[in-house]
């Protein structure tokens, strides 16, 4: 008993984790509780029992369970080989041992691999970039692709824009495409046409109706379905070429043959003029030809007949004969041939010696000595002995006396040979010659000079001088002139231009 009491007096020792031992004796009080600041453990006394409790909502500074650490910063999982995942209030990051990592936040998510390539996504778009500096950015508005050299391609709902590092770019929309280079040159292509521009202000516009080329100074050339035109310059249409007062140069010589439609050059015209001057200068004393100026060129205002010593001058609508004579005319043989003075002299002598009296239509006899032999003139009587021919009208007249007949022949000429010296202008309808123009001369069967062809000369069968052929000369069967101051010589020769010359058949 004493031993038991002695043992109680000695008490017992309480330690914490084997340390800080202290004896507890009879009468001592042992307090059991939690450490100061402890929030997660509780101790309670229930009778002679002490009960321990754990807070259902633990409040810990850090908790580690294997590779996982939970603390105020978040949750970190680290396997110790470089693979780490972290969850924080800002987001989540994941990294592996190969150097790849991912970051996920409230505003964006980002991926990056070990090579440096990245992929970033936000609420407004996504951007992918590689380690070389190339990138692609996509938003609701479109996509932009850029390479490391500064070249880019932007695609939107309204179009596409390509740009290179040098400043060249191409913009494509629904309405067309516009290409611009770094120097300011451009090309705009639309459904209605194409426009090219350079930095000097020159431009070319092509549409369905044609092409227009303009320079920076305002000069332009237009090519359309109807022709080609130059602003302030020549134009070419289906009706012809209009040089607008300019000169057609560097033209290849055309073919100068019958039936040719080629254009000729000034050199070819000069050659023809030279040949014509030579030919006109050597046609002989029996020809009618233009006179020459002191420099050897042709004087279109003067005509030389016979031996060249006398001239007929055409100037200001007047003709000065200068004593010009049509000579060396052969005797007329056929009914349509012209006759010469020798034949007229023979006729006069024959009439004077063989006709002494004439019996008129009423039976009365008259002497031929300057007496009236026909009081009742009938111009329609083609058997009349004193029938003459009008110089213009190609009609017959019947003279009353032989003297009147000879005077009429001397004044107006004989059939097929007339010279008009007055201002009366009437065209005839028969095959007689007709000098219709003022101061004109027509010789030959159906040699016709129209009424406005002043100062014109027509020699030969079926020769003609047109209405505009003033101051012109036409010689030869079936030859004609229609241009002012023109010359046509030869069988079927035609001179239609102003001051034109046609020689030959």
pLDDT digits 0-9 by tens, 114-173: 999 999 999 999 999 999 999 999 999 999 999 999 999 999 999 999 999 999 999 999
- Which string of DSSP letters, residue by residue, matches 96-112? -TTS-EEEEESSEEEEE
Report the pLDDT value the prediction gives residue 98, as an integer from 0 to 100: 95
In 3D space, the residue among 499, 497, 492 whose CA is nearest the CA of residue 263 turns out to be: 497
Q: Which residue has the higher pLDDT, 440 or 375?
A: 440
Q: What's the whole-number average pLDDT of the chain?
A: 81
Average pLDDT over residues 421-446: 74
Do strands 186-190 and 487-489 pair parallel, antiparallel, or not at all (unpaired)? unpaired
Radius of gyration for the alpha carbons in the chain, expressed in angstroms and rounded: 64
Average pLDDT over residues 175-183: 97
pLDDT digits 0-9 by tens, 308-362: 555 555 555 454 555 555 567 788 888 877 778 888 888 777 766 655 565 655 5
pLDDT digits 0-9 by tens, 35-49: 888 888 888 888 888
Average pLDDT over residues 64-86: 92
pLDDT digits 0-9 by tens, 373-411: 445 555 455 555 566 666 565 666 665 566 666 666 655
Classify residue 26 as exposed, middle or buried by CB count within 10 Å of its CB (0-12, 13-18, 19+): exposed
Q: Which residue has the higher pLDDT, 277 or 293?
A: 293
Return the minimum-mean-pLDDT range out of 255-264, 279-288, 345-354, 468-477. 279-288
Return the minimum-mean-pLDDT range out of 130-134, 174-178, 375-379, 440-444. 375-379
What pTM was computed for the model? Answer: 0.44
In 3D space, the residue among 341, 445, 433, 438 whose CA is nearest the CA of residue 395 turns out to be: 433
- Which string of DSSP letters, residue by residue, matches 401-456? SHHHHHHHHHHHEETTEEE--SS------SSS-EE-STT-EEESTT-EE-TT-TT-
Do strands 227-230 and 417-419 pair parallel, antiparallel, or not at all (unpaired)? unpaired
* Cβ proximity of 484 and 498 under 8 Å: yes
Q: Which residue has the higher pLDDT, 403 or 496?
A: 496
Average pLDDT over residues 3-32: 69
Report the pLDDT value the prediction gives residue 409, as an integer from 0 to 100: 62
| Domain ranges (residues) in the chain | 38-106, 341-503
pLDDT > 60? residue 455 = yes
């Amino acid at each position: 008993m004493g031993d038991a009491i002695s043992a109680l007096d000695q008490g017992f020792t309480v330690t914490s984790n084997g340390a800080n031992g202290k004896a507890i004796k009879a009468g001592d009080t042992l307090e059991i509780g939690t450490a100061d600041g402890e929030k997660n453990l509780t101790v309670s006394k229930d009778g002679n029992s002490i009960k321990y409790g754990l807070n259902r909502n633990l409040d810990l500074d850090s908790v580690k369970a294997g590779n996982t650490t939970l603390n105020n910063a978040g949750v970190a999982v680290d396997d110790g080989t470089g693979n780490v995942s972290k969850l924080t209030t800002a987001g989540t990051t994941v990294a592996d041992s190969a150097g790849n990592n991912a970051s996920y936040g409230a505003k964006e998510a980002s991926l990056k691999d070990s090579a440096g390539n990245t992929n970033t996504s936000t609420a407004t778009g996504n951007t992918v970039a590689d380690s070389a500096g190339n990138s692609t950015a996509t938003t609701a508005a479109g996509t932009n692709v850029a390479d490391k050299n500064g070249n880019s391609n932007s695609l939107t709902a309204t179009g596409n824009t390509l740009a290179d590092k040098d400043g060249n770019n191409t913009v494509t929309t629904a309405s067309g495409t516009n290409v611009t280079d770094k120097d300011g040159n451009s090309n705009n292509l639309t459904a209605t046409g194409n426009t090219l521009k350079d930095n000097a202000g020159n431009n070319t516009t092509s549409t369905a109706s044609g092409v227009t080329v303009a320079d920076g100074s305002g000069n332009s050339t237009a090519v359309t379905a109807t022709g080609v035109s130059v602003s302030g310059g020549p134009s070419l249409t289906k009706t012809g070429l209009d040089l607008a007062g300019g000169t057609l140069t560097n033209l290849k010589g055309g073919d100068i043959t019958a039936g040719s439609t080629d254009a000729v050059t000034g050199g070819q015209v000069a050659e023809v003029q030279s040949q014509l001057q030579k030919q006109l200068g050597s046609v002989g004393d029996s020809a009618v030809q233009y006179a020459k100026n002191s420099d050897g060129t042709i004087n279109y205002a003067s005509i030389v007949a016979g031996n060249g010593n006398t001239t007929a001058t055409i100037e200001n609508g007047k003709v000065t004969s200068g004593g010009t004579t049509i000579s060396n005319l052969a005797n007329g043989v056929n009914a349509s041939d012209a006759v010469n003075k020798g034949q007229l002299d023979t006729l006069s002598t024959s009439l004077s010696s063989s006709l002494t009296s004439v019996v008129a239509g009423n039976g009365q006899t008259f002497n031929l000595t300057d007496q009236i032999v026909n009081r009742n003139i009938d111009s329609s009587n083609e058997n009349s002995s004193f029938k003459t021919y009008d110089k213009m009208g190609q009609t017959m007249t019947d003279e009353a006396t032989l003297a009147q007949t000879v005077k009429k022949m001397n004044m107006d000429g004989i059939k097929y040979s007339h010279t008009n010296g007055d201002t009366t202008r009437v065209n005839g309808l028969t095959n007689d010659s007709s000098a219709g123009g003022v101061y004109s001369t027509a010789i030959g069967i159906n040699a016709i000079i129209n009424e406005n062809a002043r100062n014109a000369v027509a020699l030969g069968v079926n020769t003609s001088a047109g209405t505009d052929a003033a101051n012109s000369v036409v010689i030869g069967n079936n030859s004609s002139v229609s241009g002012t101051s023109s010359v046509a010589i030869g069988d079927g020769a035609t001179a239609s231009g102003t001051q034109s010359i046609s020689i030959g058949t």
